[in-house]
């Protein structure tokens, strides 16, 4: 099963996109770009001699305040705008992130350290390399953590209330102003986790890494932007389809068209159900 590792990362991206969208109504096109910045920081740390495991921990933890800061500095001013405006604002973040990387690190390619342990596990004849197991385990951990957060903690329930109806949540005393940057921090940490895991197999190009948001969005849309299990399943299916397409020689070059076809099919199939109800609430402004 080639593609399971990749699919798990797509699922992870989808989960991060969903978390932010559910709590703040922001469909974040810059989600993978935030993780991409973390990858560059990670590589610089390792180059400077920091042990890879420590560097990994540092960028995932460090992404939290960075994400919160992004909300406080930029996205705060879009809190009361409609969803389309918020999403376009994140496109600006995406462009800005790619520009920032080229400005700081230049456009030459940098090698990304292969830091995950390398051994193979054999399960009834199928060989599973250890890095995929690590990725799958990370997805499982994130899933459990999200489930715990959203169902078993006060903050998580508050976030869900916020996602369902911001003004009512505010009326019952949920501190929306303080929670929003926290969600951004959480989603930034998830982006950093996903991207640092996938970067060794995807190469160090800022654009390639940032555009992983597209399969991530595809996974999120498959899960209707609300069902974590659906999102992870969608990500895994996408990853496997992409890997299988890659194995089929004639189509190998076109594996990246898979997310486009899947996205188009799923969005059209769901038609106005996904993303749209909220849009209609504000007068159908597109």
Q: Is 257 in the site for other proteins (CB under 8 A)?
A: yes
Q: Is 96 in the site for other proteins (CB under 8 A)?
A: yes
**CA dist., res. 101 & res. 78, Å (int):** 25
Q: Is 275 in the site for other proteins (CB under 8 A)?
A: yes
Q: How far is the CB of 230 from other proteins (least distance, A)?
A: 17
Nearer to other proteins, 124 or 271 (CB): 271
Q: How far is the CB of 190 from other proteins (least distance, A)?
A: 19
**CA dist., res. 31 & res. 91, Å (int):** 10
In sequence order, what DSSP letters do the residues of 21-79 get, joined into one string?
HHHH----TTHHHHHHHHHHHHHHHHHTT--HHHHHHHHHHHHHHHHHHHHHHTGGGGT
Q: Is 126 in the site for other proteins (CB under 8 A)?
A: no
Which residues of the chain form beta strands (DSSP E)? Answer: 120-123, 126-129
Question: With 0-12 CB in 10 A as exposed, 13-18 as middle and 19+ as buried, what is 252?
Answer: exposed
CA nearest to 196, candidates 32, 14, 49, 28: 32
**Of residues 202-221, those binding other proteins (CB under 8 A):** 207, 210-211, 214, 217-218, 221
Stretch binding other proteins (CB under 8 A), from 109-117, 170-178, 229-237, 277-285: 277-285
Residues that bind other proteins (CB under 8 A): 27, 29, 74, 77-78, 81, 83-85, 87-89, 91-96, 98-100, 102-103, 107, 207, 210-211, 214, 217-218, 221, 253-257, 259-261, 263-264, 267-268, 271-272, 274-276, 279-280, 283-286
């Amino acid at each position: 099963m080639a593609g399971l590792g990749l699919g798990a990362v797509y699922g992870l991206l989808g989960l991060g996109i969903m978390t932010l969208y559910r709590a703040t109504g922001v469909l974040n096109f810059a989600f993978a770009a935030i993780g991409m910045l973390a990858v560059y920081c990670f590589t610089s740390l390792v180059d400077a001699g920091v042990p890879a495991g420590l560097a990994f921990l540092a960028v995932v933890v460090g992404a939290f305040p960075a994400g919160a800061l992004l909300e406080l500095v930029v996205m705060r001013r879009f809190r009361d705008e409609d969803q389309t405006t918020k999403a376009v604002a994140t496109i600006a973040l995406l462009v800005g992130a790619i520009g920032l990387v080229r400005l700081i690190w230049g456009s030459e390619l940098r090698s990304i350290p292969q830091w995950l342990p390398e051994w193979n596990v054999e399960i009834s004849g199928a060989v599973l390399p250890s890095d995929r197991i690590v990725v799958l385990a990370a997805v499982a951990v994130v899933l459990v953590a999200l489930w715990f957060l959203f169902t078993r903690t006060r903050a998580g329930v508050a976030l869900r209330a916020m996602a369902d109806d911001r003004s009512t949540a505010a009326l019952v005393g949920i501190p929306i102003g303080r929670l929003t940057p926290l969600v951004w921090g959480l989603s930034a940490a998830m982006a950093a986790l996903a991207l640092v895991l996938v970067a060794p197999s995807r190469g160090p190009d800022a654009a390639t890494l940032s555009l992983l948001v597209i399969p991530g969005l595809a996974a999120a849309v498959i899960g209707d932007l609300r069902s974590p299990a659906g999102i992870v399943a969608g990500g895994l299916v996408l990853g496997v389809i992409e890997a299988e397409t890659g194995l089929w020689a004639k189509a190998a070059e076109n594996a990246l068209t898979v997310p486009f076809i899947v996205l188009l099919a799923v969005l059209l199939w769901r038609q106005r159900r996904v993303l749209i109800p909220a849009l209609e609430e504000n007068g159908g402004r597109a």
